[in-house]
Amino acid sequence: MKTRKLLSITVLTLFLGVSALAQIQTIEWQGMQRQYMIKTPENYESLPVLFFLHGLGDNISHVNIEHHFEQYAEKFNWMIVIPQAVNEGNGTMWNAALMNSSIDDSGFLMALLDSLAVQYPINQDSVFFTGFSMGGFMSHRMAIEHGDRINAAAPVSGLITHAMANQTAVAPVRMLHIHGTNDNVVGDNGYSQYFGSNLGLGVDAILNYWRNANGCTDEPIIDSLPDTHNDGLRFVQYVYSGNKELRFLKVIGGTHSWYRNANQHDIDYMTYIHDFFTGKISHNSVNSPTTGSLNVYPNPTTGQIKIELESPATIEIVDIQGRTIIQKQLESGIAFIDLDGIQSGVYFLKGNGATSKLVIE
């Protein structure tokens, strides 16, 4: 029985190994056989295509098992392409212009898109890139160099390298940048505690780069997503309108991780990214245009504000991270709110169906 059980396990292992290998395809680029996987829904006519770029040292077989791409392909009715980076001696690594490399990954990924477009009914108006860590770096590079063909990109825990920051984006492209505040591998300030070096632009500079490229406003719409799970994380959206939308998802308490279990966290990254790409993300913004009457003065203020209300309302003062600092139930007419003890900065006053920007000096 023991021998038979071991034999069964061996056969199963070999079968799974052959099955995984059978999914890996190749395309010749720069004299090399470059590997990739694709996942498609069972039924399709016109396919949006999402490229997922893995992190440093990772491989397509591992990320395919980890992320269950076939489920997302079926759920979204999209093609998902998982390409493999080249191992140049220090593990697989995309050439995102972080280190000297002769590998033309940017050209390879576009050549792979062209090859797949010959074989499948790809919707060329729905080409998207996302990636984690080094794959996030490469997603930024693809958006900068191929924004005329890419409709949107969503780098996660990746930066724009200093070399890429010197390039002008070829075209505006819808951009979603996701980063955790406690990421010590790829810090949101551009520095890596793990590697002990500066890797690229910090988040503020990245947002400035894409604001300029996309012709976006300086002031964002700020959304604090519902905090329904006790996971130590808070998700806050910063949305910049312009020629092409720019969005930053700030993960307060987030580490160098891809959060993918909606049963454990407030969002599933892949679903959130898909909804951004398709414009399905809802807004509960603290400073989006609204209707109603909300008069507040003086503004800026040094410690007290006077509010005129046409009807009773619950008034909230919210910080730029979406946290409620003060909440009061006020009657119609004139009311005063004491702001002593609140740090100076930009806040938002919500109530009566309206929102006003509030500056505390």
**Into how many domains does the chain fold?**
2
CB 275, CB 334: distance < 8 Å: no
Q: How confident is the model at residue 168 (pLDDT cuts 50, 70, 90)?
A: very high
Whether residues 131 and 243 share a domain: the answer is yes
Q: Give the CATH number, domain containing residue 328.
A: 2.60.40.3080
Whether residues 27 and 89 share a domain: the answer is yes
3-state DSSP assignment of residue 107: helix
Whether residues 197 and 68 share a domain: the answer is yes
Average the pLDDT over 303-314 and give the result: 82
Which has the closest alpha carbon to 277: 170, 159, 150, 113?
A: 150
Chain-wide mean pLDDT for the chain?
Answer: 86
Average the pLDDT over 41-59 and give the result: 95
- Tell me which of 60 and 12 has the higher pLDDT: 60
Residues 6+ apart with CB under 8 A from 217: 211, 240, 241, 242
In a domain, 95, yes or no: yes
Residue owning tokens 């119609």: 332
Task: Return the DSSP state at 342.
Answer: P
In a domain, 26, yes or no: yes
Whether residues 181 and 305 share a domain: the answer is no
CB 253, CB 134: distance < 8 Å: no
- Residue 205: predicted pLDDT: 97
Q: Which of 219, 253, 278 is the last residue of a domain?
A: 278
pLDDT tens-digit map of 325-358: 888 888 888 888 888 888 887 787 877 767 777 8
Whether residues 269 and 310 share a domain: the answer is no
Domain that holds residue 255: 19-278
Average the pLDDT over 163-183 and give the result: 97
Q: Give the CATH number, domain containing residue 74.
A: 3.40.50.1820
E strands, the chain, where?
Answer: 25-29, 32-39, 47-53, 79-83, 122-132, 152-156, 174-180, 191-192, 197-198, 221-224, 234-240, 246-252, 295-297, 304-309, 313-319, 324-330, 333-338, 345-351, 354-360
- In this structure, of 212-216, 234-238, 291-295, 330-334, the range with the lowest mean pLDDT score is 291-295
Whether residues 42 and 147 share a domain: the answer is yes
Alpha helices in 120-240 (DSSP H): 134-146, 162-165, 203-214
Whether residues 256 and 306 share a domain: the answer is no
pTM above 0.95, yes or no: no
Q: How many helices (H) and strands (E) does the chain have?
A: 8, 19
Which has the closest alpha carbon to 259: 285, 282, 284, 225?
A: 225
